[in-house]
Amino acid sequence: MAINLDFPTVWARWPSFLDGATLTLELALMATVFGGTLGTLCAVGRRSRNSTIASLSGAYVEAIRNTPFLVQIFLVYFGLASLGLKLSAFTVAAMALTINVGAYTTEIMRAGFDAIPRGQIEAAEGLALSRFQVYWHIVLLPAMEKVYPSLTSQFVLMMLASSVCSQISAEELTAVANFIQSDTYRAFETYITIAVIYVVLSLVLRAGFWGLGLVLFPRLRRLGTPL
């Protein structure tokens, strides 16, 4: 059985692929910044002495980690619409990705916090550092340094998961591919093409995070520790 492949027909749509890849990167970067911030705050909340804050942070993490991302994005999309909030598909997709990756970031950062020796914190408190100074210099930055590889891997996985956003018509890479294959009737060639693009995007993100790690954690760079 002969297989008739026609990649040039698909490659002729490269401007559309470029637009989809750009939107995918925009979603990933927005979710990385806001989701990373949300996750860090919730990780602090889970360690809070206030039981209400700790319980709410824990409930958020368990709810997100035990439900599919597709269900979450539908809840955000249709939930906001039922409240009369008409937002663009891009905005909803960014919000859903932020909420999702925030929960996983919470657990990663909590593991980093738990890895900080208690004696180190007590020593900082003995030097009369404020609670903020202790968290920032003794807990947060060293914890982030320890879990940075896990964080970056989670953010790359989140970028790949953004393909689900095509279900709410966000015009990211997979949505563009769905349109192209329905227009050209070249499904196999189309999805092979975006698979390659996703690999390239993953490598670009990993390289970017690696460079950022060299800037954020010069101690590791001097020690020659891989990020």
| CB 192, CB 17: distance < 8 Å | no
Task: Look at residue 208 in the predicted model and tell me its pLDDT.
Answer: 94
Percent of the chain scored above 70 by pLDDT? 95
Task: Look at residue 121 in the predicted model and tell me its pLDDT.
Answer: 76
| CB 2, CB 64: distance < 8 Å | no
Task: Look at residue 221 in the predicted model and tell me its pLDDT.
Answer: 61
| From the candidate CATH numbers 1.20.120.450, 3.40.50.10800, 1.10.3720.10, 2.60.120.680, the one assigned to the domain spanning 7-223 | 1.10.3720.10
110-169, pLDDT tens digit by residue? 999 888 888 877 787 777 777 777 777 788 888 888 899 999 999 999 999 999 999 998
| CB 177, CB 190: distance < 8 Å | yes
Q: Please report, for the chain, the start and end positions of each structural domain, with discontinuous segments joined by +.
A: 7-223
- pLDDT value at 76 more than 80: yes
Give the angle subtended at the CA of 56 by the CAs of 44 and 50, to the nearest 5°.
60
Whole-angstrom distance, CA of residue 44 vs CA of residue 110: 8
Nearest to 219 by CA among 148, 153, 149, 145: 145
